[in-house]
Amino acid sequence: MSGLSIQNLSMRFELPNGGAVQALEDVSLDLKQGELMSVLGPSGCGKTTLLNIAAGFLAPTSGQLTMNGHVITGPDAERGMVFQKGALFEWMSVRENVGFGPSMKGTPAAEKRETVDHLLNVVGLQDFKEKAVYELSGGMQQRVALARCLANDPDVILMDEPLGALDALTREKMQSLVLKLWKETGKTIILITHSVEEALLLGERLIVMAPRPGRIHTEYNLPFAELGVGADLREVKKHPDFGPKRDEILSMIWDMEEEIMGRTEEQS
C-alpha cells in the first residue's frame, strides 16, 4: 500500500538511573498519500518521539513502520523533515541550502538551478538567493527550510513545530503557505504544533495525544484545511464549527495537563 503506516508502535526510554519512560504505547496510524495531519498534545506526550521514529532517527522498541510498502529502518530522502529552528546550514547561501538535496543526489546543475529558483519563488524569497541564512529573519529562515525540504521532492514531510518560533503575523502567513504547498504538491504532511488553532487550520486529520504513556487520545476529521486553501485564514476561523471545536480540544488538553500536574503533586 502507498502512504505511511504505523502499527502498534511503542517506545520506552531506559534512563541511566534505572528508571524508564514509556514515551509511546501502542500507537497505530495510517496516512494516505496526500493527507495533511496535525498532532496536538501536552508537553512530553511523545510527539517529537513519534516524528523522530517516523523520520527514521530512532528505532522503536516495538511495532513497525512501513512507507510505500517497505519497512522504515533509517532516514531517507523519501521522508523530509522541517525542524523548529537551527537546522539550516549557516555556511551555505540560501540557494545552496535549498539545493542541498539535489546536490547530494548529483542532480545536474541546470536542473537543480531551475528547481531552486522555482521553489524560492514559491516561498517568496527570490530576492534573497545569494544571502547567507543568518542574514534572514526567523520567518524567512523557516521558508528556506520548507523550500529545502520540497526541493528534495519527498513523499512525506514531517514538521516538528515548524512555526513555533515565529511571531503571530508571520505565523499566519506561513500557515497559508503550508496549505498552499500542500495543495499544490500533494505531499503527505504530518505537522506537530502546540497551537490548537494551528492544528485545526492545518489538519484534515487532527490527532490529540495523551501523555504517560504517550498514546492517541482522540482523532478528528476536519474541513478547515480544505476551506483554508487560498482563502483568508481569519475567515476560516469564523466558521461556525471552528470555535466549538477549539474550545472542546482546549479543555481536553487542559484536563490532561491538570492531571499531570496533580499527579506530580501527589508524587512529591
User: Nearer Cβ to other proteins, position 17 or 134?
Assistant: 134
Q: Could you give the CA distance from residue 31 to residue 48 in angstroms, rounded to a whole number?
A: 17
Task: Give yes or no for residue 132 binding other proteins (CB under 8 A).
Answer: yes
Closest separation in Å from C-beta 226 to other proteins: 28
User: Nearer Cβ to other proteins, position 38 or 97?
Assistant: 97
Closest separation in Å from C-beta 145 to other proteins: 8
Among the listed ranges 25-33, 84-92, 183-191, 236-244, the one in contact with other proteins (CB under 8 A) is 84-92
User: Nearer Cβ to ligand ATP, position 15 or 110?
Assistant: 15
Find the binder of other proteins among 8, 28, 30, 57 (CB under 8 A): 57
Whole-angstrom CA distances from 184 to 4, 34, 179, 214 are 20, 10, 9, 33
User: Nearer Cβ to ligand ATP, position 3 or 44?
Assistant: 44
Task: Give yes or no for residue 254 binding other proteins (CB under 8 A).
Answer: no
Residues 152-181 that bind other proteins (CB under 8 A): 152, 154
User: Nearer Cβ to other proteins, position 83 or 220?
Assistant: 83
Closest separation in Å from C-beta 137 to ligand ATP: 23
Burial of 184 (0-12, 13-18, 19+ CB in 10 A): exposed
Q: How many residues does the chain have?
A: 268
Closest separation in Å from C-beta 104 to Mg ion: 27
43 binds, among Mg ion, other proteins, ligand ATP, none (CB under 5 to 8 A by kind): ligand ATP
Whole-angstrom CA distances from 169 to 19, 173, 174, 192, 259 are 43, 7, 9, 19, 33
User: Nearer Cβ to other proteins, position 36 or 98?
Assistant: 98
Task: Give yes or no for residue 134 binding other proteins (CB under 8 A).
Answer: yes
23 binds, among Mg ion, ligand ATP, other proteins, none (CB under 5 to 8 A by kind): ligand ATP
Q: Which residues bind Mg ion (CB under 5 A)?
A: 48
Cis preceding-peptide flag for 211 (omega within 30 of 0)? no
Strand partners, 220: 206
Q: Which residues bind ligand ATP (CB under 6 A)?
A: 13, 15, 21, 23, 41, 43-49
Task: Give yes or no for residue 263 binding other proteins (CB under 8 A).
Answer: no
Give the binding site for other proteins (CB under 8 A): 55-57, 74-77, 79-81, 83, 86-91, 100-101, 104-105, 132, 134, 148-149, 152, 154
